[in-house]
Amino acid sequence: MNIHRKFLLVLLLSSSMGLSSAIADYSEHPDAQKFIEKIENDYDRTKILTIFKSANKQQSIINAMNRPAEKVKSWADYKKIFIQEKRVNQGVQFWLENDEILTKASKKYGVAPEIIVAIIGVETSYGRNKGSYRVIDALTTLSFDYPKRSKFFKKQLKSFFLLCEEQKQDPLSLKGSYAGAMGYGQFIPSSYRSFAIDFDGDGFSDIWNNKADAIGSVANYFSQHGWRSGEKIVIPAKFDKSYDTSLVNKLKLDKNIGNLKKIGFHPLYPLSDQIKALPLILESDDGKKYLLGLHNFYVITRYNHSHLYAMAVYE
């Protein structure tokens, strides 16, 4: 390689490194500047600039968000991911180790212990996979370098700054998923501020390392979303051949049993015609399962908007 080419190569590499460094420093990002102007009444401008100087753009986060959506899994395939002997055994162990806290949370919030345990199991394998990204890196990357969802993630970034202020936490230290979800139950910042609780009274709602707070927070989330203690979640059903396919597996609880019977959906258990339900069809290894999801099923889908997720939690 001649001297001229070497010089060009060095120049290109230097420029590339400089650009990378500039992009990584969100304190000078134009969109970040606008963000600061909007929230500086709620959070100190100097603090935000200092934090943004230490926040790093993570291309792997953008790559994860841009991955083609998974093909729609059947219930049979989805179930195998979450309902397996190893995870079930881990769930039993988690329950036994935290039985006193689970009982306390269940009594206070009216949410069955098995639902709390199932949520934490599905979300993080009982705390084994809580996420390794700094939350600040995830939220700045998605707020300022991911236009498709920037509006949503800017709201989460503001909530994150506020929760750190309220809880006296270092914004550069907290870890989470590539989408900024945090702790045992994978709360996004806005959910944390609304539903995370200090269940052991130590002054910090620590959903990252404190199982009592994590358990109490999940229970509180379900309670605040209208969980009804002791009510069924799903029931088996029979569908007429003429049933309306457009209503199946939709997460809308806007029809009652009386309405559904008239259009081909029949519960196999006696239920009041006034009870609301949503029709479900699951493709299992044994063929199709016909079900009606009731109010508590719908509440589970408020945690994650997927009927398959809700079934994994239920089973």
Active site residues: 123
d(CA 176, CA 184): 10
Amino acid at 234: V
Which residues 6+ apart lie within 8 Å of 271 measured at CB? 235, 257, 277
Check: CB of residue 196 under 8 Å from CB of residue 164. no
Check: CB of residue 148 under 8 Å from CB of residue 69. no
Amino acid at 131: G
The gap between the terminal CA atoms of the chain, to the nearest Å, is: 65
Check: CB of residue 138 under 8 Å from CB of residue 177. yes
d(CA 114, CA 128): 18
Nearest to 261 by CA among 239, 281, 282: 239
Where in the chain does DSSP place strands (E)? 133-134, 175-176, 234-239, 265-267, 278-284, 287-293
Check: CB of residue 291 under 8 Å from CB of residue 300. no
Three-class DSSP labels, 200-230: CCCCCCCCCCCHHHHHHHHHHHHHHCCCCCC
Q: The tokens of 123 are what?
A: 């979300």
